[in-house]
Structure 1
Amino acid sequence: MKHQLFQNAKYVLGIGGLFVGLIMYGISLAIELEAVDITMSTMWLFFTVILASLGLLIGRIISILHHWAYRDFLTDTWNRKYFSTRIKAELKGKEKNGNDLCLALIDMDDFKKINDCYGHDFGDKAIRKVADVLKANIRATDSIVRIGGDEFVIIFPYTDLACAKLIAERIRKTVAEECEYVTVSVGVIEVGEAARTTALIQEMDHMLYHAKKMKNSVTTMVMEA
């Protein structure tokens, strides 16, 4: 996955390489001038240690850049930018391999009223609590995405509609039981063979609208194209 923040990594590599090069040049020059008593084997050991440390540092920086690019800071779930990238990859995989793919759409009911009655701090806590319920009720292969203020999507790769609905229903009931003043509407889409990203996002909006009408149940649909 690429993001413009990753462009910074090449500058880190360049500066790090320049830094190592200058150190090695300085050590080599000092040895030639007999300013220091260092054997070549010691010098190369020192070089290896520096290179390994630099590699670990660059790996950590790239990890941080990835976190900034694709994570939602309020809930520590994936964000909408990640969804756009991931769903394209999933659709390509489905077109190639014909594997099952489902999406669960979760929207907090009357969230504006929650903010108006209890304040935005409570609203943020409620969003985090719902995200925690989602994390506790999915599998390792599934991905949670916060696509809007109070809207989430769960990506279920290699999962049919019946299984995805079962997980979604468990999530809906758990939120009602564990989250104070909060309920959610849930819809599940089984993605068809010829689905496109743009059409899929449009269907997600329609699904949330229908899910709002169907209280106390999970709405399902199959998207053929």
Structure 2
Amino acid sequence: MRGFALLLCALQVSFGQIVAKKFVFPGDSEGWTIEGCPLCTKANANAGLEIGDEYGGSEAFYFRAPSSGLGGLQAAYGGGLSVDLIHSGISGSSSYIAAPDVILSSDQFNVSIGIDGVIFADGEKASFAHASLLESAGWTVLGPAGTFSATTCSSVCGDAAVGGGQQEACQPMTGVLMASVLSSLSTILVRGGYATGRETSVLRKLVLTEPDAPQMPSMEPYHRE
């Protein structure tokens, strides 16, 4: 029956009132695949999905969430995203690979957005891997849908964006853009590879949570100070 439980919706109830809805992607559900590591091995372990990079690759690799249940998550805008992941093999900041920890991609809007420093930052694993689903939380536009790298939109698109059919992918980060991506998700990638050399990651769970109260996305570009 695990194949029918790719996405679980759970309601948190406090004093008889619904305060948030959670969209849960268990790591041991069917449909998870590996992105960016053709030589990695995959197995179910510890109620999650395990990836082992036994050949010591030098690229970041990702868990790709099952496609079932990805659509219509715009209600999670303003809420949060959390990752339960176990990792071994990193040996400090010297071997750390800079790349987004989580990537959200929309084929409909032809754009990928990502955020780094959620699971690992400079070789140190976070005790609680969580990111706000707001444009001000550090999300950046990576490029067209299918862009799974650490490059920024400007370096992906550059001057080629003018008249090149990639205007949507090169738009600035706004609340409207983030809400649009959440409403039409085609891909969620959770990073499993963080270092050069051999490493193993076990993804136990990915969770998207709605905010306690609906948020109104802004059309104004967000600029980091």
Query: TM-score when scaled to structure 2?
Result: 0.25
Larger radius of gyration: 1
For CA contacts below 8 A with separation 6 or more, give which structure has more relative contact order.
2
Structure with the larger helix share: 1
Query: TM-score when scaled to structure 1?
Result: 0.25
